[in-house]
């Protein structure tokens, strides 16, 4: 059938991933650093992704395409939700959720000694984190681009201290963080959210995921976005 469907200009696409986050049907994914329409039958033709694209790389076209299949979209979402909650096949201990107790004010490091870690829980990857965990209750949540800790030298003291930390890279992971973060906000007593992203365009995906989660959670939480430069400065 001939119908209206999106088209993505690969030359204009910067790989920011914002359109993939905005597409609630999962029709768009990141392939080799570029946004791609993965399945015609997942695209409803409504264009929620169009205003999300900062470079105007997405337009509507009329062409031969499979009809939108809402049942397939819902089935795919249910499958993704089950996969997100399922343990890894290997039963890897590294994916087991646990809380890490630390001294509120650890002794100052000796000259030349290592700075103490401020991480309070495990795992930290968004895609591995459980939706429900005791350490989320009453927590201040940090959602950070995984490059940020490498760019900012005092990341543990400035951002991780006193917060539950979740990190990810929407460009490399190619998953919808918005749904997972929405579930975490809905099912736990989160007090506030801090987003730390890099200045590069692809980091917009992690900020957009948090915005989506806050909107969809139905909760009104204080939140802030901190942007870091690639040379390690706080820009805002």
Quickly count: other Cβ atoms within 10 Å of residue 192's Cβ.
13
- The label of the residue with tokens 């990857």 reads 125
- pLDDT tens-place string over residues 175-218: 778 989 999 999 999 999 999 999 998 888 999 999 999 999 99
Mean of the per-residue pLDDT values of the chain? 86
- Checking 96-103 for CB contacts under 8 A at 24+ apart, the result is 96/122, 97/121, 97/122, 97/123, 97/129, 97/130, 97/133, 98/122, 99/133, 99/134, 99/135
The pair of structure tokens assigned to 222 is 């204080």
pLDDT for 87:
53
Contacts of 232 (CB under 8 A, 6+ apart): 151, 152, 153
* The predicted structure's pLDDT at residue 79: 75
C-alpha–C-alpha distance, residues 155 and 148, integer Å? 8
Q: From 160, 141, 140, select the one nearest 152 (Cα to Cα).
A: 160
Low-confidence spans in the chain with pLDDT less than 70: 81-95, 102-113
């Amino acid at each position: 059938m001939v119908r209206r469907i999106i088209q993505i200009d690969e030359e204009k696409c910067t790989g920011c991933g914002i359109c993939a986050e905005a597409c609630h049907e999962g029709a768009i994914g990141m392939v080799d650093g570029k946004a791609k329409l993965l399945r015609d039958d997942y695209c409803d033709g409504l264009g929620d992704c169009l205003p999300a694209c900062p470079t105007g790389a997405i337009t509507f076209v009329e062409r031969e395409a499979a009809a939108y299949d809402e049942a397939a979209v819902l089935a795919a979402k249910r499958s993704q939700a089950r996969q997100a909650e399922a343990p890894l096949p290997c039963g890897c201990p590294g994916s087991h959720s646990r809380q890490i107790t630390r001294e509120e004010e650890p002794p100052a490091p000796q000259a030349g000694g290592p700075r103490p870690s401020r991480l309070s829980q495990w795992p930290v990857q968004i895609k591995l984190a459980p939706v429900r965990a005791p350490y989320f209750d009453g927590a201040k949540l940090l959602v950070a681009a995984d490059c940020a800790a490498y760019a900012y030298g005092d990341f543990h003291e400035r951002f991780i201290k006193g917060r539950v930390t979740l990190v990810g890279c929407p460009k490399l992971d190619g998953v919808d963080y918005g749904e997972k973060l929405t579930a975490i906000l809905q099912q736990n007593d989160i007090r506030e959210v801090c987003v730390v992203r890099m200045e590069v365009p692809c980091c917009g995906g992690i900020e957009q995921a948090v915005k989506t989660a806050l909107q969809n959670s139905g909760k009104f939480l204080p939140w802030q976005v901190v942007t870091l430069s690639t040379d390690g400065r706080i820009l805002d």
